Amino acid sequence: MKKTLLLVMTMLLAFALFGCQAGKDASGKDQSEDVQLTVSAAASLKDVLTELSSEYKKDHPNVTVKFNFGSSGALQQQIEQGAPADLFFSAAQDKFDRLVEQGLISKSDSVNLLENSLVLIVPKEKAKQVKSFEDLTKSGVDKLAVGKPESVPAGKYAKETLTSLHLWSKVQSKIVYGKDVRQVLSYVETGNADAGAVYRTDALTSDQVKVVETAASDLHTPIIYPLGIVKNTKHREQAEQFYKFLQSDESVKKMEKYGFKKG
């Protein structure tokens, strides 16, 4: 009788221990515990990533994705300085590559996911006055909004385009700098700028501006959006899962609806 009781107690203890381990991953963490991922992402990705994160939450209720949107240059510097981030989604290859070179992102944990294009926009009421980059030299165009070339990739691409067209020196005195591409869009929407250079995807989000010209791809550095997992992530498993989710066919199709192209 004692042996039978001892056997039953041993089995119950084994089941209890198994149940505790079943809810844990390889690191010993409870897979069902709430986790918050921080994704540092280019401002131009705000709309599509916000929508995708809501869809992701439906299948991963224990994972909350928090976004830190801004210019890729500023985000790159934040990660260099140790700011918490699990993934980095950049709008510029050079900003991303710098983190790879410093060992903060592994090349094997990164992918060139998307492409974009640069466009010239104007408030709708000015569409007849400005029809191309060449028209930016006209006297009626007093303010041109672009991102800061040093930290905002769209601003860098704009400067490269205007330089290639031999217009940069002619329009430099008219330039109003934005902290990111969304601020540039806002300047044009509100009439605080007569024209602006933004990504095609940003222009598509507004019904207050008109695209008057798309910059030829050979006028600037290719507009590539690399995505990668930050090495010091404290939530490696969840970061990998979201990283793979963003590369899925369904996610890429959603991004394409917002005007991006698959890289």
Indicate the annotated binding residues for molybdate: 44, 72, 154, 181, 199
Distances (CA, A) of 16 to 5, 13, 23, 30, 218: 17, 5, 12, 15, 65
The gap from C-alpha 113 to its chain's centroid, in whole angstroms, comes to 11
Contact (CB, 8 A) for 225 and 72: no
Provide the strand spans (E) within the chain.
35-42, 63-70, 87-89, 105-115, 118-123, 144-147, 175-178, 195-199, 209-214, 224-230, 261-262
Enter the tokens of residue 93: 């290859």
Return the residue matching tokens 């381990």. 21
75: Cβ–Cβ under 8 A, 6 or more apart, which residues? 40, 41, 42, 68, 85, 88, 90, 95
Report residue 52 as tokens: 């995708």
Does residue 262 sit in helix, strand or coil? strand
Strands 35-42 and 87-89: parallel
- Mapped to the 3 state alphabet, what secondary structure does 165-224 carry? CCCHHHHHHHEEEECCHHHHHHHHHCCCCCEEEEEHHHHCCCCCEEEEEECCHHHCCCCE
